[in-house]
Structure 1
Amino acid sequence: MMSIPGLEPAFLPVPATRWRYSDPSNLARDTEIAVEWPVNIRYGSVPYAVMMATPLDLEDFVTGFSLTEGIIAGTGEIRGIRILAEPEAVTVDIDLTPDRFRKHLGRIRRLSGRTSCGVCGIEDAADLPRSKTPARPPRKPVSAGAVAAAVAHLRAHQPLHARTRSVHGAVWCDLDGVILEAREDVGRHNALDKLIGAVLRSGRDVAEGFVVVTSRASYEMVEKTATLGAAALVSVSAPTSLAVTRARAAGLILVSVAREDGCEVFAGELAQ
């Protein structure tokens, strides 16, 4: 986990009382909880969104967010990222290339801070975000064994969740199921955006891997994964109906209710 001097920590000890219903004795102690903090995202000093997030890996976060929001088409359109820790928020300023910044200013989109619903601030259903990736078969097959391997090692890549039990995780795996990148956040969308940013910034070949998330698979999680160009999205929890529809339309393998001993495939097929 990367931290930046001056930012809020990822977790804080908070006084709490632990109860045992069957035991009248209660224990006062400090409990570590995840930090949720406003992140003010600006492009060329122009405010765009305030996201409630865990203040870790913010360069990855805004890179992935910029891609999945359709603001950039690739990392080459970001010239620089500046992070300023302020008393009541963290401000992240993203400098875009001149042409991309002009196109960004031409877009009209009102977006409120979010950690769950994914459509706050949209005024019309026609404006629901959709991936720009055309429907296609997976470029590389994903095997059932790779899914099992990834799920088996997932907890080892969730250090913040191990401390707080309150954050989501997203990991990038190679086609053997080896976890190469991992990111965490209080918001499941944020965790995936951080992972997408990490994959993009590392220069990894998106055709050579797949995504695993610890949350349910909502339609927006599918859209973000399809926008990245990964072959598959694997979720520990179940998918929604729209997630299944979007995955099938995008040619994305969608695997949910993933456990070490089995899973359910809702779109596409796993290799043996």
Structure 2
Amino acid sequence: MRPADRVLARECAVALSFDGATQAVMMASPVALEDFALGFALSEEIVASPDQITAIERVEHNTGIEMRMWLAAPVGARLAARRRAMVGPVGCGLCGLDSLAAAERPLPPLPACGLRVTRAEIVRAMSDMRAVQTLHSQTGGTHAAGFWTPGKGLGTLREDIGRHIALDKLIGARARAGADLSGGIVVMSSRLSIELVQKAVLARAPILAAVSAPTARAVATADAAGLTLVAWARGERCEVYTHPHRIAGTTGGRDAV
């Protein structure tokens, strides 16, 4: 055996605080944390729009990084009334919720949209994502979430050691640009679990596609919310689990294309 150099993925504790009180502590990749902070605030429905956050400040500590957010007065008052403490490890976006009911919060149905894509476009979107996963290429240990639109390709991509944090970063990046996830495909390098579906729906994504398997609860949640869920998108094939009308050439139910 010969010694070899290998780049390892970095992770650190990231505390997300609102109006001086910590809301969550996550282990995350220490990049694009402003996007993460905003995306988390939107995904957790702490704010409804970026302008409800008056300032975001990054503060370095010996033990990690704190992302401090300051809220407009009415929003801050509402959060104080429902505050919860939440500490989550890398693999889970639902750890630390203060009630079982909060894990399956009601989601608004997605608005009707005219987006319709082909199997070839899904294949291209996944391929485009893989081609620009810089952190993964260096370390082999991170996930990615990207936004792909027909005719434009991959517009935004964010990476992190946690799949749900990668999606929060994508949501935050789009929100900072004055946009959501409607009008295109959200592509991910992970399995599909319920928290990813919840985040995608709240960000108004009509299609969520990933390289690995969905969970049963993710499928049920996507179906109820009107989200098209595409899994096992590898090579030239993928499986459509819900709302196949947005994928040309598919029919009802789970459909391998």
TM over 0.5: yes
Partner of 2:50: 75
Q: Which runs of 5+ in 1 are unaligned?
A: 1-25
Which residue of structure 1 lines up, in the alignment, with residue 65 of structure 2? 90
Q: Name the CA distance, whole Å, in 2 between partners of 1:122 and 1:87.
A: 27
Q: Match for residue 254 of structure 2? A: none
Q: How far 1:138 moved relative to its partner?
A: 4.3
Q: Distance in 1 between matches of 2:209 and 2:43?
A: 18
Using the alignment, how far apart are the partners of 2:96 and 2:71 within structure 1?
23
> How far 1:30 moved relative to its partner?
2.6
Q: CA shift at 1:128, angstroms?
A: 1.0
1:32-51 to 2 correspondence within 5 Å?
32-51=7-26
Residue 69 of structure 1 contacts residue 129 of structure 1 at CA under 8 Å; is this kept in 2? no
Q: Deviations over 1:35-73 (max 9, x none)?
A: 110001111111111110000000100111011111011
CA contact (8 A) 1:209 1:230 kept: yes
Per-residue Cα deviation, 1:215-268 (whole angstroms, up to 9, x for no partner) = 000011011000000111001101000000000000000000002301000001
Alpha-carbon distance in structure 2 between the residues aligned to 1:65 and 1:205: 14
- Is the 1:146–1:177 Cα contact (8 Å) retained in structure 2? no
Q: Deviation of residue 31 (structure 1)?
A: 1.5
Q: Tell me which of 241, 245, 248 is aligned to 1:271.
A: 248
Partner of 1:184: 159
2:129 is matched with which residue? 154
User: What percentage of residue pairs aligned between the two structures are identical?
Assistant: 37
Give the match's secondary structure for 2:2.
strand
| Shift, 1:141, TM fit | 2.1
In structure 2, the residue matched to 1:19 is: none
Shift of 1:133: 2.3
Alignment of 1:245 with 2:220, yes or no, is: yes
Residues 206 and 31 (structure 1), Cα distance of their counterparts in 2 relative to 1, 3 Å cut: closer
Q: CA-to-partner distance for each residue in 1:62-93, whole Å, 9 max, x for gaps?
A: 11101111101111111111001111110110
Q: Aligned-pair distance for 1:151?
A: 1.2
State the 1:143 CA deviation: 2.7
Give the counterpart letter for 1:83 in structure 2.
R
- Give the aligned residue type for 1:168: H
State the AA in 2 paired with 1:114: P
Distance 1:246 1:139, change over 3 A: farther
Contact in 2 for aligned 1:254/1:268 (Cα 8 Å): yes
CA distance in 2, matches of 1:137, 1:264: 22
In structure 2, the gaps of 5 or more residues are 250-257
Q: Secondary structure at the match of 2:79?
A: helix
Quote the residue 1:254 is aligned against.
229
Using the alignment, how far apart are the partners of 1:102 and 1:230 within structure 2? 29
Residue in 2 aligned with 1:62? 37
TM-score, scaled to structure 2: 0.91
- Report the RMSD for the aligned CA atoms in angstroms: 1.6
**Are the equivalent residues in 2 in contact too, given 1:169–1:191 (CA < 8 A)?**
yes
1:154 is paired with a residue of what secondary structure?
helix
TM-score for the superposition, normalised by structure 1: 0.86
